[in-house]
Chains A and B, each alone.
Chain A
Amino acid sequence: MSGVKGAAGKQAVLVLGCPQVPVQTSIALYLAAHLRKKGVVPVIAGNRAARLNAEVSDPDRHYTGETMDLDRFIEDLAADRRKFDYYFIFIHNDAGISYAATVQSITGATVVALIYGEHFEEMADAIEFPCEKIAAKAVHNPMPLKKKIDEVLPWVVSNL
């Protein structure tokens, strides 16, 4: 297993979706920053565009750290080459649900589904596998989702 363990000895992976919804990158950096404050090292997995949005927004890597290709992330999980302590999956479309279900099924872990976008309620209702859902109608304005993260992140870090 590669990667550097954090002060609390834990790693979280933030699995990004298509960056077409504006709040994704800001929420990812916000979540990464708060995880770091709790001693958890964030790793960002996404396609090239999603990763570049995060990397360009954080050029000195204050919040982001290791990034990895989404396909490689899935391959590493499936081959049991990589494990994380927390799995945060960004969901705003059907593909996001598929990735969350895949991570949950392969790892057996309780994943945290961050659900946002115009159709967040429809997406949340479509998730039938066990997971923790953090959902808000956030498209351009990240504040509704940020508030939800503020409310539940301490519980997530302590209990998952």
Chain B
Amino acid sequence: MGCIESLKYEIILRGASFKECRDYVRAHCSEYYDVQPGFRIFEKAVIGVPPISIGLDGDTVTFPYTKPCYGTFLMRIDDHEEAERIRHIAPGKKK
């Protein structure tokens, strides 16, 4: 996910499990959408155990990012276009 690494991001959870990331998003984000693995965020297919919860707070997108050696990071990136894109195309709004 080279393009994500080039964006200005904040790491919320480091070395987390997929379940910890899901629970965090559902508990802390004002909106969340459940998506399937392969759903594209910042032009890359998201990795995870379905359902993968993607959080939105205004223009802030909160999502899991998995690396083989470091586990899963929960990341937060401010991006108006991506937040709106997710609102329009993601199935399964849950909150």
Please list the residues of chain A having a beta carbon within 8 angstroms of any beta carbon in chain B.
Answer: 16-18, 20, 46-47, 49-50, 70-71, 74-75, 77-78, 93-99, 101-102, 105-106, 128-129
Kindly state the separation between the CA atoms of A105 and B67 in the bound complex, as whole angstroms. Answer: 18
**Chain B 21-50 against A: per-residue CB contact (8 Å), 1 yes, 0 no?**
000000000000000111010001101111
Are A105 and B50 closer than 8 Å at their CB atoms?
A: yes
Query: Hey, which bits of chain B sit against chain A, CB under 8 A?
Result: 1, 17-18, 36-38, 40, 44-45, 47-50, 66-72
Interface SS of B by simple majority? loop
- Do A98 and B47 touch across chains, with their CB atoms under 8 A apart? yes
Q: How far is the CA of A46 from the CA of B70 in the complex (A)?
A: 14
The smallest C-beta distance from A72 to any residue of chain B, in angstroms, reads: 11
Interchain residue pairs with CB less than 8 A apart (23): A17-B68, A47-B68, A47-B69, A77-B45, A78-B45, A93-B71, A94-B17, A94-B18, A95-B67, A95-B68, A95-B69, A96-B68, A97-B49, A98-B47, A98-B48, A99-B47, A101-B18, A101-B37, A101-B48, A105-B37, A106-B36, A106-B37, A106-B38
